[in-house]
Structure 1
Amino acid sequence: MKESGDKGFALFFLIAAILVVGALIGAGLALVGPGAKKAKYDQTKDILAAAEQSVISWSAANGRIPVWGDNAPDAIIDEFCEVTANRNDAFARPLVYIYDNNLTSSLCGSSSTTLSYGAAADTAFLIISGAEDMTVNTTPAVSGAFAGNVASGTADILRALSLENLKSQSGCSSFTTGRLRILNNELPKAVSGVSYSATIYAEGGILPYTVWNATGIPAGLTFNTVSAVISGTPTLPGSFTINIQVTDTGGNTTSRTYTLVIS
């Protein structure tokens, strides 16, 4: 009878031990799940930060930001997929790249963008991950150029960079050729009654230049707002103050004032 009781106690302790071990394993698994998710979350944040730096570095070297393109690497390095080392987040989902299209032509010559993020205007680009639910809830949710306001999804991991910060990190403050400017230092002298022609040149900014304007053009001369050429036959001698202004595709404007001497 005693032997049977001992066996019962032994079986009881065995069952209790199994239950304890099972509980410990369950608790361990419960801890591993959130820990693994946090590790992927942190890894994704690092991937986005690295992608942002890759875009900045490429922009600094090329004077513009990369395009989205067809997301298929080729021989011409100008797309997001070719610039960044990792196109997917830690959840194995592709990153979303949203950008201002004007900046794909010129960076340092731009003073504003058509892209904003929340209350922040003049955003250059955003890089987004859908994070744990693997669905991008930000609007828009697909990669490409976008004009308008980007509304962030609460569950997404996102990095947004302003135009000011991008220009600063790309070294635009040390550039002179990137900014829109008129090149002519002076106008050639003219003679009354003699045919005259002078072309105004500009560089930098966002091509093409959309508007040329001039004020103070003397009698007998005209200014072509497309070709930026002053031409004609001046009729009166004297010194005339002429102001030339040019506007690029991004809406950036610059002007210079000249004195035209007609003898």
Structure 2
Amino acid sequence: MQSLRRHRGFSFIAMIVLATVVIVVGLSMHMLAKAKGDARLAMQSQADAGYRAVIGYATQYRRLPTDTEFQQLTGDLRDAYGNPLVYVYDARLVAASPDICAYPTALLSVADCAADANCATPATTADVPFVVLAAGETRDGSANTVSQSASAVGALPAASGLRRYQLGTSVGALATPTTNPFAYDDHLAFKDLRQVQNEVQCTGKGLRVVNVELPRFKCSEAYVGTVFGTSGVTFPGNTYEWQVTTGPAWLTASADGNNARSGAWARGASLVLGGTPDNTTAGTVTVLLRDSEGSAQTRQFPLRPVTGSSCSPPPPPSSPGGIILVPDIPTGSGTGTTPDGTQVSTQGSGVITAGPIGGGVLGIGGDNAISGAERLQFIFPQDVHYLGLRVRDFRSNSSDHISIAFYNAAGGAVGQYNWLACSPANASKQLGSITPGAGITFRSIVIQGVGLTQFYFQGLRYCDASNAVCLVDPSASEPSC
């Protein structure tokens, strides 16, 4: 009985000891968890403190600090595990000129990968000028203690991407995120370039873009808009430097005649926008303004069409298939217009007359042939991709030919085609799908004979890009020369 009591007493004491151990371990784990939580909060605070130190420096000097200057700024500041803060930055932004306010973009980006080690669909912040990073407790055994977030640190001269994960995500080095993973505990402090420029007060002693908005545009009508700057410290002649970095393809920009869309600064008193809109798509125009001290301002303007404005495609030809036959052409010298709106005219000594071959075939000149200074011009009602030509009694000697010159809507030459004569004579011949070159459009042609003894025009057809087989009579079995 006494032995039993002793056994029961030992069990009771053991239970008390065990319970005490559990309580101590529980309290220790709670304290450890609290310590880790406090460490995480402290690390983010320390990264934020490093960020604020860089902002303070940039506000004073209008540039980012170098590595050495960053260490001087942050002094003995360490993360919760005794590690110095890590500084990653766009190497261009440490230069004194142009200062940080003049840059429209930055080289870094940060992908927020949440808990996905592969970072398949991140939310990315672009144009990040610098990142301050507290690397945390974990290490991957290499010299790069922040390889989960950055593949390189310090000054980065080219575009580079960093990653941020949800704390605790099992992830390896940035280049191989699923190899040898460990718990992510880096803390990053960063903002995009626009926010940083606002924080460093990129006001340029009052430098600003005056305009609130740009004029609206009408399709196919010449556009003119002028952007003005004010205050700051101007260049000689009360001028500024300008750039336009985004805008529709048709938009031109110049400052005192200097191109402001070339990727370089253009100097002038104001920025002149122009061009002829070829569509009604609204867009955004980004204007950069800089003064002689390197202070800069950026303004984005929405560019919208006039309400109700539209771009109508060129009207289709009224003549079926864009075919012009002999009866459509007015005779005589000078000009005339065919039913579809094509202008036909003679050049040189030519006169359009009724030809002797049946069917009212037309020639040009007294002998009804095109030769020498006699030329026949066609100006079409729309831009054309292909041409088909049909002639009769095409006679010549050896290499003599018909010459077809092509011109665009502005009258500029875009190509030439020579059609050699061939036998048999006294027969109709047609040639189709004539073009000055792949993808080249033309608005007018001039036909001229070179050494021809006889040539009678019977008709032509003009076609758009959807009809590459362009023949006056697709069903005809005439020799094509």
Matched, 1:150 2:161: yes
Q: Which residue of 2 aligns with 1:35?
A: 34
Task: Normalising by structure 2, report the TM-score.
Answer: 0.36
Matched, 1:128 2:136: no
Measured in 1, the distance between the counterparts of 2:58 and 2:12 equals 69
Distance 1:176 1:243, change over 3 A: farther
SS of residue matched to 1:25? helix
Measured in 2, the distance between the counterparts of 1:115 and 1:89 equals 23
Measured in 2, the distance between the counterparts of 1:146 and 1:117 equals 16
User: How many residues are aligned here?
Assistant: 198
Q: Which residue of 2 aligns with 1:243?
A: 257
Distance 1:121 1:254, change over 3 A: farther
Structure ranking higher in helix proportion: 1
Deviations 1:159-191 (A, max 9, x none): 2221111110111125358999861227xxxxx
CA contact under 8 A between 1:68 and 1:80: conserved in structure 2? yes
CA contact under 8 A between 2:53 and 2:73: conserved in structure 1? yes
In terms of Rg, which structure is larger? 2
Matches within 5 A, 1:73-88: 79-88=69-78
Measured in 2, the distance between the counterparts of 1:183 and 1:22 equals 78
Partner residue of 2:237 out of 175, 185, 202: 185
Q: Which residue of 2 aligns with 1:47?
A: 46
Q: Percent of counterpart pairs with the same letter?
A: 21
Task: Normalising by structure 1, report the TM-score.
Answer: 0.63
Q: Which of 1 and 2 has higher RCO (CA within 8 Å, sep 6+)?
A: 1
Q: Which residue of 1 aligns with 2:103?
A: 110
Measured in 2, the distance between the counterparts of 1:242 and 1:18 equals 90
Any unmatched runs of 5+ in structure 1? 70-78, 187-200, 204-240, 259-263
SS of residue matched to 2:104? coil
CA contact under 8 A between 2:46 and 2:134: conserved in structure 1? no
Give, in angstroms, the shift of residue 121 of structure 1. Answer: 2.2
Matches within 5 A, 1:1-263: 2=2, 4-69=3-68, 79-105=69-95, 106-118=99-111, 119-134=124-139, 135-136=145-146, 137-154=148-165, 155=184, 156-175=186-205, 183-185=235-237, 243-244=257-258, 253-256=265-268
Structure ranking higher in strand proportion: 2
Structure 1 runs of 4+ off > 4 angstroms?
176-182, 244-247
Compute the RMSD of aligned alpha carbons.
3.6
CA contact under 8 A between 2:256 and 2:267: conserved in structure 1? no
CA contact under 8 A between 1:47 and 1:86: conserved in structure 2? no
Q: Which residue of 1 aligns with 2:142?
A: none
CA contact under 8 A between 1:116 and 1:150: conserved in structure 2? yes
